[in-house]
A = this chain, B = another copy of it.
Amino acid sequence: MPQIRIALAQVNATVGDLDGNASLIVDWTRRAAEARAQLVVLPEMVLTGYPVEDLALRESFAAASVQRLAGLAGRLDEAGCGEVACYVSYLDRDEVGPRDAVAVLHRGEVVARQFKHHLPNYGVFDERRYFKPGQSLDILRVHGLEVGVVICEDIWQDGGPIAALGRAGVDLVVAPNASPYERSKDDVRLPLVAGRAREARAPLAYVNMVGGQDELVFDGDSIVVGADGTLLSRAPQFVEHLLLLDLDLPGGAARAEGRIGGFEVRRRVLSAEPLPAYAPAYPATIAEPLSDEAEVWSALVTCLRDYVHKNGFRSVVLGLSGGIDSAVCAALAVDALGPDAVYAVSMPSVYSSAHSRSDAADLAQRTGLHYSVQPIETMVAAFVDQLGLTGLAEENVQARCRGVTLMGLSNQHGHLVLATGNKTELAVGYSTIYGDAVGGFAPIKDVPKTLVWELARWRNAEADKRGEIPPIPESSITKPPSAELRPGQLDTDSLPDYTLLDRVVDDYVEGDRGYHDLIASGHDPELVERVLRMIDKAEYKRRQYPPGTKITWKAFGRDRRLPITNAWREGT
């Protein structure tokens, strides 16, 4: 049986950094070559990063991508990786338009090319804005094996190129991906990939990007399945990784050409003959998927770290209220950047409780981050007295003085400000615009309040398991949440119980369910009416909120595009 050693390079590319990404590709391909792999596959758009958004339309950028690809072929050869068939994804542009493409580099040349067929245009994706779809299936014979390529969405659509490859005949399918993390997506991914392998009647090697890009984070989780759908190898999540695997393939797939299933099937030969037999060195290795909490925590840590570093920051500053949201954000920041890069500020007002300060100080002690106290009384009084503010206007000024304080410290010391709001708050507008909403990044923007608590408990338990000090003070987890903007204020004065609230938010925002459907599924009508009004009215605040890691199926932002001016009210 023909043998082949494949390498899936699950790497962290940076959008727009063509030179950096080219070096990354050389580096990982060299590692694959050193392990004597014959074929290496990198993630979708690894040369440009993903998603490049409107850069895809800029001719100068597309030209640079094509030019860097050609240069990369030579660099790989010079680096001694010329013999490896290296599958590099990049932005192409031909007379039809921009293309989401993969090229095979070998001995200093581009020896094959494949364009993406299915262009997702839903959720966070706008690919029909950017790319023209491919019409051909370009199969390359590598060491006697017929190797087909599909790109990301091509796997997710029924009746696509995979079925055509199955009918045409291939020995192996490789699939570069940039598939953003969502909770439980890994549970869907494996059965999907397994099903497509069966459809292709060949093993399928799926390699995914890792790392954060603005609101998206890629979890890796690269996998190889056999022709029967059996899981052969799986890479760990949220880390760069080279997944090496020796495959014994039957070879001798049927070799049809011409039009199959709407695609033009074309074949090329890179190396016709199978390799002489060699001893396998890389058997199957299957990384255990992370638990739900560990996965979410890793997603948040990875995306925050990459946002900070890829944007040239070395430190962050955040307000520490003693409450659960800022405590979890601080713990995430410490995990992402180390305590020395995290500056936390307690900003008590006249309404702040004693425990808000002591809990903040306790967290600082536990995590070792930089901690300071800046009371805001003088600032608040300056506004309230001069402008004669009362009620909500007075409450909001407190939050805004904290915002101005954090931004002042950011400007003075170069820290990135973190906004500490959660998804539930953002949904119902329970935040002060230009107040607690200020920041360059919002780590828990897509984390519902009830999950914030779960994550805090999970993170503390993990610390316990490892014999470390739990980062989050128990009292921050257990005390009733409060914005502390007026005496004795509690979140429950303005909001329903968070467990009930999160269920409605989830069904309305993620589920996009209408009023009657929500009632039919058992929610209290009065609660639904109240919550939906709050969510609809808060659209304008969400528009000006900083970016933050998407972890759910539908995050606020590109995933959910609603007009601000919108008279539609569910239930009317």
* Contacts from A to B (Cβ < 8 Å): 14-20, 49, 51-55, 57-61, 63-64, 121-122, 126, 128-129, 212-214, 306-307, 310-311, 374, 378-379, 381-383, 386-390, 392-393, 396-397, 400-401, 403-405, 407-409, 411-412, 433-434, 438, 440, 512-517, 540, 543-547, 560-570, 572
Contacts and interface: CB of A to CB of B under 8 A. Distances in A.
A567 B20 contact: yes
A376 B451 CA distance: 42
A489 to B, nearest CB: 16
A388 B408 CA distance: 9
B214 A565 contact: yes
Given A383-B379, A434-B434, A516-B60, A563 B412 contact: no
Given A379-B379, A393-B408, A434-B438, 6 more contacts: A17-B567, A19-B572, A60-B513, A60-B514, A382-B382, A389-B408
Nearest to A515: B60
A16 B563 contact: yes
A409 B387 contact: yes
Contacts of A383: 379, 404-405, 408
B60 A517 contact: yes
Nearest 6 interchain pairs by C-beta: A60-B514, A16-B568, A17-B567, A393-B411, A393-B412, A16-B567
A478 to B, nearest CB: 32
A562 B434 contact: no
Nearest to A16: B568
A407 B412 contact: no
A498 B340 CA distance: 43
A512 B561 CA distance: 25
Given A407-B400, A565-B311, A386 B393 contact: no
Given A128-B128, A392-B411, A404-B397, A514 B58 contact: yes
Nearest to A541: B440
Nearest to A378: B382
A514 B17 CA distance: 16
B311 A564 contact: yes
Contacts of A63: 514
A121 B122 CA distance: 12
Most chain B beta-carbon neighbours within 10 Å: one of A15, A57, A545, A569: A15
B379 A566 contact: no
B412 A566 contact: no
Contacts of A128: 121, 128
A51 B563 contact: yes
B434 A18 contact: no
B396 A408 contact: yes
A515 to B, nearest CB: 7
A565 B310 contact: yes
A562 B378 contact: no
A567 B387 contact: no
20 contacts: A17-B567, A18-B568, A51-B563, A53-B562, A61-B568, A128-B128, A129-B561, A214-B564, A311-B540, A378-B386, A387-B409, A388-B412, A389-B408, A392-B411, A393-B412, A400-B408, A403-B434, A434-B438, A440-B540, A547-B564
A387 B408 contact: yes
A309 B1 CA distance: 74
A214 B563 contact: yes
B565 A14 contact: yes
Contacts of A212: 565
Nearest to A380: B382
A55 B572 CA distance: 15
Contacts of A392: 411
Given A16-B563, A567-B15, A390 B412 contact: yes
Contacts of A513: 60
A213 B60 contact: no
B389 A566 contact: no
